[in-house]
Structure 1
Amino acid sequence: MRARRLVAVASVAVGLVALAGCRTEPGVAAYVGDVRITETAVDAIVQELATASPAPQAPGEPPAERPEFRRPQIVSTLVLHEVCQRVSADKGYRAQTPPEPEQVRQALGLAPGSVFAQRQAELNSCLSGLPVGSPVAPTQEEMTDLVEAGKTAGVIPAEVTVEQAAGQLDGDQLRRALAAKKSLGDAVGDYDVTVNPRYRPLEFPVLSFNSDAPAVSVLLGEEGTGAVTDVSTPDPLPSVEPTDGEQVEPQPGTVDG
């Protein structure tokens, strides 16, 4: 059996742990501390991606297909963008690579000036400065979950046992992904992240089998099934609204979506 090689999605990922209490109000996709990530900010990026033209192709090549991005993917990018900025500021972490929005834009097949490409590039740069702990060996439960995810994604044959798959999957790449998930999840445990029930569970992939099949993910905010629940509405908080795509230093109570 040859399981497909795991593909790293990012150098590290930020793990978020929701604190006690539940917050929600109409028009808010997620909270990070006292900052709201609004549905308006998400809508603006959804509209951009829906109307954007694919990146130009070389002469003679067929037109590129328009990239598809799910709404939760946009929300997780905006949440992580804010969290990473806060973690870096509080801990004194410095990005190891500069933002490269043009490179991200071309890799994702987005149109010039894409706000989403800018936000993703800023996030990638910020994540490059976050430390990763020592490699962590997967538990039996983690390996079982990983193999089941691979079978669901169709990249591991159904007849392959966990023991057979572990021999090929358990390596430095997987152990570093588990280390990033653990150490960074612990590091940002004090950040108050709350996600709108419609997006739960909201996860960020640290390692993937392919673009549509996460292998190791970090939970952002609370667990849940996406069902809407009745909760109290808090007082209004600072909003997150889209900008023209320029990189902006984060200010207390605001974030650029």
Structure 2
Amino acid sequence: MEVGGVTAPGCWRERVTVMRARRLVAVATVAVGIVALSGCRAEPGVAAYVGDHRITQDAVTAVLDDLRAKNPTPPAEDPSTAAQPPLPGPAQVASVLVLGEVCARVSKEKNYQPRAQVSPEQAAQQFGLAPDTRYVRSVAELYTCLSGVPAGEAVAPTEKELADVVAAGRKAAKIPANVSDEDAARQLDGEQSREQLRAALATRRSLVEAVESYDVTVNPRYRPLEFPVLTFEGNAPAVSVPLGEAGTDTVTDVSTPDATPSSGNPDAEGTAS
């Protein structure tokens, strides 16, 4: 897996960074009989389910506490405060734990092996965090895992896909107001950015199928939960993988899960090591 950047041509020159998994998974969604269960997948203290595995809110909180302890905010009078990136929030932590579990499961099932090793130091540099932070180690493990999952085909984006990327750029204030949506879309899928954008969209399509096949359910407090596979400068999401439900409180599944150890992590409750 490589982390690189491109610059869009013309008057809009926003740097874009992308996590580029060399191979991504294309997993057929498993057809299951689904019945509505209002409470079985919404237990107190559970942040998300991946199949029969619980990721607890305590696990998310532990990672957040570790982030704050190892990455203290400088005093207000410190000139470096302005350049200090904000710490990841609960949703960002939950997204890493959820997708990490999905990747571990599909890799174990299909016997995928990582094709690249991403170190905590590399991940720390991307986020501006201490390398011994549990969140950073979890991100490095996730990127390493994703490097071994087979890639989908990079094809021309649909109009909706381009519109979604432009909308993300507008939301993050990364596209100047005087640049039209049409011009922004042309530049995003232009010669200098095309390869990374299309690779990210292929990543998204493949990971969406994987997430759906492993029956991810997310606590409403974290919805909509997403993991970015392409970001604008400053780690603002450009293309993201949706994890679980979009925002409804309705929960659907076929069974009540039991807490089991993670297939990719020795901690039983989905905590980052």
TM-score normalised to the size of structure 2?
A: 0.75
Q: Which runs of 5+ in 2 are unaligned?
A: 1-10, 73-78
2:44 alignment partner AA: P
Give the CA deviation at 1:253: 7.2
Q: Which residue of 2 aligns with 1:6?
A: 16
Matched, 1:238 2:248: no
Deviations 1:145-180 (A, max 9, x none): 222221222221223223222221001111111111
Counterpart selection for 2:70 from 52, 59, 71: 52
1:72 alignment partner AA: A
Is the CA contact 2:18–2:229 (under 8 Å) kept in the aligned structure 1? yes
Partner of 1:131: helix, strand, or coil? coil
Partner of 2:154: helix, strand, or coil? coil
Q: Which residue of 2 aligns with 1:143?
A: 162
Is the CA contact 2:25–2:150 (under 8 Å) kept in the aligned structure 1? no
Q: Which moved more, 1:81-90 or 1:152-161?
A: 152-161
Q: Which residue of 2 aligns with 1:204?
A: 227
Q: Which residue of 2 aligns with 1:218?
A: 241
Aligned residues: 243
Counterpart selection for 1:119 from 131, 138, 150: 138
Q: Which runs of 5+ in 1 are unaligned?
A: 55-60, 242-247
Give the CA deviation at 1:107: 4.5
Partner of 2:167: helix, strand, or coil? helix
Partner of 2:137: helix, strand, or coil? helix
Q: Go from structure 1 to structure 2 and tell me whether the alpha carbon gap of 1:143 and 1:34 turns closer, same or farther (over 3 Å shift).
A: same
2:18 alignment partner AA: A
1:207 alignment partner AA: L
Q: Go from structure 1 to structure 2 and tell me whether the alpha carbon gap of 1:231 and 1:141 turns closer, same or farther (over 3 Å shift).
A: closer
Cα distance in 2 for residues equivalent to 1:67 and 1:164: 31
2:234 alignment partner AA: S
Deviations 1:89-142 (A, max 9, x none): 111211012352244345444446422222111111101111222212111122
Q: Which moved more, 1:100-109 or 1:200-209?
A: 100-109
Cα distance in 2 for residues equivalent to 1:119 and 1:99: 11
Partner of 1:137: helix, strand, or coil? coil
1:11 alignment partner AA: A
Matched, 1:27 2:45: yes
Deviations 1:187-211 (A, max 9, x none): 4432110000011110011111133
Cα distance in 1 for residues equivalent to 2:157 and 2:126: 31
Give the CA deviation at 1:44: 0.8
Is the CA contact 2:20–2:199 (under 8 Å) kept in the aligned structure 1? no
TM-score normalised to the size of structure 1?
A: 0.79
Cα distance in 1 for residues equivalent to 2:252 and 2:128: 40
Cα distance in 1 for residues equivalent to 2:245 and 2:142: 21
